[in-house]
Each structure stands twice: as structure tokens, then as C-alpha cells.
Amino acid sequence: MSEIQIIIMICNVLAFIPAIVFHEFMHGWAAWKLGDNTAKAQGRLSFNPLKHIDPFGTVVLPLLLIIMGGPVFGYAKPVPYNPANFKNPRRDDLLVGLAGPSGNLVLALVGAALMYGLQSMYTNTAPEIFIYFYGVFLPIFIMVNLYLMFFNLLPIPPLDGSSIFAFLLPEKYLPQYYRIQQYALPVFLIVIFVLPYLIHVNLISMYLNVTAGNLATLLIP
């Protein structure tokens, strides 16, 4: 493995950690603001990465994707909340679901603002650490946050898109949908890893390239 490959791998890890932590923090913060303090009472309203780690979604899956050279995405341990504490459970459940991806969009915009603000300093005479920060880390930081945002908008449990899908479903179908959610992890693994090998097309990568990839092109100078 070359030096630049090691640097890119390190930058992916350094970008992924704040992205996933802020994503989960935003879920808990939104639930708290909407009247439910479950996440806060359980210590999940925190920027401590250890509070949010899911062994597979936060560690194994991103590492596999980094090694495979694909888009880096994943998920953390879901933030607990009780919709019964919301004034409008269906609407507020949707808002909590959207809060995480919205947090990633904010971080991507912050990264883009930094790139535009520091663009004049990115020259051949700049310190090497700044060149790596500007030319490697910040683009990766933007991409990782966009990948996380759009990946989590997929309507597959346990991703945030499932909350959006549930909001759009007629109420009479919700009990059946919630029963299906107990099989969330097997379905998720099949869609992510098995389906691409069966149909020889990686639909997730195609979706992320069209969504996150095109938006990154607009944001990165």
C-alpha cells in the first residue's frame, strides 16, 4: 500500500467519525426538542463516538468499503426515542428521521465553505500538511457526509429513509410494515452485499454516484 493510499484511508476514517456522530446527535437533539428526552436520559445526546458505535454499521461496513475502494457509508447504533412523547407522533417521527441526514448536509456545506474560503492558500508553496488537509481531507469529508446523507435516506430499515417511507404509508398498512422491520438486518445485508452479486449491478453505488457524486461536484471547488 502506497503512502497516498494510507493517507486517503486515514482521511476516510477521520471524516467518517464526526459525520456519523453528528448524524446520531442530530436525531437525539431533534427528539429532545420535540418533547422526548429518552436519548438525553440514556446519554446519547453526546459527541462521544463510543456512545454511538454499532459494531457492524460503524466499524465493519465502513472498513470493508474503504478496503474495497467504494463509497464510504454506514450507520451507527440507533438513537432511542419514544414517539408517544411527541405532540404529533407521525410528523415528529419523520422530523427525527430527517434530522440525521440534514446534519450531514450541514457538515458537507461547512466543508465546502472551508474549501472556498481557503482556496487562495492552496498553492505549491503551502505547507504539506495544509495541502493534504485541503486537497485530500476536505473533499473526502464532503463526500463522506453526502454519502451518509443519501445512503440513510434509502427506505430500508434500519436507515432513516424507513421513517420517511412509514410517514408516506397509509396508516392501515403501518402494522404490517412494522412487522417487516424485525427482519431489517437480513434484508439490509441482502440489498447491500448479495443483490449486487446476483444481478451484477451495484444499485447502491449507482444511486450514490448520481446523488452524492453530482452534489459533490457542485460543492467542491
HEC profile for the chain? CCHHHHHHHHHHHHHHHHHHHHHHHHHHHHHHHCCCCHHHHCCCCCCCHHHCCCHHHHHHHHHHHHHHCCCCCCCCCCCCCCHHHCCCHHHHHHHHHHHHHHHHHHHHHHHHHHHHHHHHHCCCCCCHHHHHHHHHHHHHHHHHHHHHHHHHCCCCCCCCHHHHHHHHCCHHHHHHHHHHHHHHHHHHHHHHHHHHHHHCCCHHHHHHHHHHHHHHHHHCC
24 is catalytic: yes
- Residue pair 39/27 in contact (Cβ under 8 Å)? The answer is yes
Catalytic residue annotation: 24
